[in-house]
A = this chain, B = another copy of it.
Amino acid sequence: MNGSTIGVGIIGYGYWGPNLARSVAGVDGCHVAAIADGAEDALARAAKMHPSAHLSRDWRDVIADPSVDAVMIATPVRTHFELARAALRAGKHVLVEKPMTETSEEASILIEEAARRNRVLMVDHTFVYTGAVQKIRDLISLGIVGDIFYYDSTRINLGLFQRDVNVMWDLAVHDLAILDFVLDDKPVAISASGADHFNGSRENMAHIVLYFSRGTIAHLNVNWLAPVKVRRTLIGGSQRMIVYDDLEPSEKVKIYDRGVNVTASPEQVYEMRVSYRIGDMWAPQISVKEALVTEVEHFVDCIANNALPLTNGHSGLAVIEYLECATQSLRQRGHPIELAPLRRAS
């Protein structure tokens, strides 16, 4: 019965690959056709959980597999470009882990490759597919939050020190993807600070500030060396404010009907006592559907309908451009880096 559904090949069965495979197995319209991983034990786990999939230690077998219509790439970042390009050239649709590539140049090449071959190129910006982030996008686009004053995110924990990327490319990428999705504005300059506390390793903590064209200031606090896990974002607007805590079991998004009356003259603003509690708070119902399932369904739909994914190559490229500027600023102790309009246009 699988013949009639999209055959998915998964390359990389380490930390994230098994989640992708489980989601594919649970979503209608696709099935796990093949899995590749260089490690024996990883393949053994794959065999037990997906006994009917083709297994191989060589990713080339997945790309060459005629039963594979689409490839999901969950390997180290440095390999994303080569594998994604090879898959596209083999005529496969591609879902690639974040960050999309190591450089914006590579990202641009993949975008062209996918366009030329009319294949779906999607980046795994998972948070864009959560009920919480989609609710926040709606609240902002409907004007309920008003003008966005700031976006302040803390995304810290004791995390994996990665070989090929620093903490910004590992954690800040999530917030940059969310910002690209929820804000109808682009950054004009970026200032970042951070440190590498272990000689020779990549930066393990960073603070990134993005200045947007219409005055929004975004701050991203990312850290691999935090004693506690925090996934908390505050969004301050002229009308309302949002607290988004992804670790909250139920009320992940809280909307506060409070702030400062901007019609007041500066004189009044000075005088006004902004009371600690002005209006009510409410927490709207959020879909509890697993984001990865929504994302895989979206991938399947885009393939079936030849549509552009929400998180397509261009959003992947934008995120990488921001990361490149942030890394440049971080090496100069926060010296602000301007984003060229041309690049922002992309």
Interface residues of A (CB under 8 A from B): 1-2, 25-26, 28, 31, 45, 47-49, 51-52, 149-150, 152, 154, 156-163, 189, 191, 193-195, 197-201, 205, 207, 209, 211, 215, 217, 219, 221, 223-229, 234, 236, 238, 241-243, 247, 249-251, 254, 256, 258-260, 262, 266, 269-286, 288, 329, 332-336
B251 touches A161 (CB 8 A): no
A256 touches B278 (CB 8 A): no
**Residues of chain B lying within 8 A (CB to CB) of residue A234:** 156, 226-228
B193 touches A205 (CB 8 A): no
Complex CA gap A286/B279 in Å reads 9
**Residues of chain B lying within 8 A (CB to CB) of residue A161:** 260, 269-270, 272, 274
Given A193-B209, A217-B195, A221-B152, A285 and B276 contact (CB-CB distance below 8 Å) = no
**Residues of chain B lying within 8 A (CB to CB) of residue A223:** 150, 152, 236
Complex CA gap A335/B334 in Å reads 6
7 contacts between A and B (CB under 8 A): A26-B49, A31-B48, A51-B51, A158-B258, A193-B217, A198-B269, A280-B284
Q: Closest B residue to A283 by CB, please name it.
A: B281
Contacting residue for A273 out of B160, B209, B229, B238, CB 8 A: B160
The 4 A-B residue pairs with the shortest CB-CB distance in the complex, in nearest-first order: A191-B334, A227-B256, A200-B266, A227-B241
B285 touches A280 (CB 8 A): yes
A336 touches B333 (CB 8 A): yes
How many copies, total?
4
Q: Closest B residue to A47 by CB, please name it.
A: B1
Contacting residue for A282 out of B28, B150, B283, CB 8 A: B283
B48 touches A25 (CB 8 A): yes
**Residues of chain B lying within 8 A (CB to CB) of residue A229:** 249-250, 276
Q: Closest B residue to A235 by CB, please name it.
A: B227
A194 touches B207 (CB 8 A): no
Contacting residue for A225 out of B149, B271, B281, B286, CB 8 A: B149
Complex CA gap A247/B248 in Å reads 10
Q: Closest B residue to A247 by CB, please name it.
A: B249
Q: Closest B residue to A236 by CB, please name it.
A: B225
Complex CA gap A241/B223 in Å reads 13
Complex CA gap A157/B228 in Å reads 22
A149-B197, A158-B258, A227-B256 given. 10 additional CB < 8 A pairs? Answer: A152-B221, A163-B270, A189-B333, A197-B262, A276-B288, A277-B288, A280-B282, A282-B282, A282-B283, A332-B336
